[in-house]
Amino acid sequence: MADGRIMVAEQNGVHVLKFLGDVRLTLCPSLDEYLDRALHSRQFSNVLIDLTETQGIDSTSLGILAKLAVRMRKQVDRVPTLVSINDNITRILLSMGFDKVFSLVQKPDDPLPKCQQLNNQACSEAEMQAKVLEAHKVLMSLNEDNQKEFKSLVEALEMQCQL
C-alpha cells in the first residue's frame, strides 16, 4: 500500500480533507490539530472527507474522524460528509457505526477545491499513546460492537499511560 497522505483545503467555510493511500496513526496528531483549528474558525461551516483514493485506514484515524463528528454535532449541530467508493472502506465505515454520525456518499455534490498536503507533525510517544487512547474511546462510544472490539486495547493503553 502507498504511504498515506492527507490533503486539505477550505472553501467558503467548508473544510475538505482528502485521504490518499494508507492512512495510519502517524498522521493523526496533524489531523487532530487541523480539525481542532477548523472547528474554532470563524468561517467554519462543515467538513467533507474524501476517501475515494484511500487504500487503507486504521482505527486511530477512524477514531479521530469519529471525534470530529461528535464535536460537530455538539458545537454546530452539523454532520460531516464522508465520500467513499471503495467497498472495503465503506464496509469498515458501516461496521464502525459511521452511518449514524456522518453523511456517507459516493460522490460530492460539488467539485472539490485544489488541496495542499497537510504537514506531518511530530509528537512524543506519550502524546501518541494519548491520541490513540482518545480515538479508541470515541470509537467505543459509537456502538456496542466497537465497545467489544476495542475494550482490551483501551484497557492496555490506560495501563501504559498510568506508568
Tens digits of residue pLDDT in 71-112: 999 999 999 999 999 999 999 999 999 999 999 999 988 888
Task: Answer yes or no: is pLDDT of 1 > 70.
Answer: no
The answer to whether 26 touches 64, Cβ cutoff 8 Å, is no
Confidence (pTM): 0.92
5-162: in CATH 3.40.710.10: no
Q: Kindly list the distances between the CA atom of residue 96 and the CA atoms of 5, 44, 66, 160, in Å, as whole numbers in the listed order.
A: 22, 26, 9, 25
pLDDT tens-digit profile of 40-68?
998 999 999 999 999 999 999 999 999 99
Output the 3-class SS for 101-122: CCEEECCCCCCCCCCEECCCCC
Torsion angles phi and psi, residue 102, rounded to 5: -130, 160
**Grid cell 464496509 in the structure block, residue:** 91
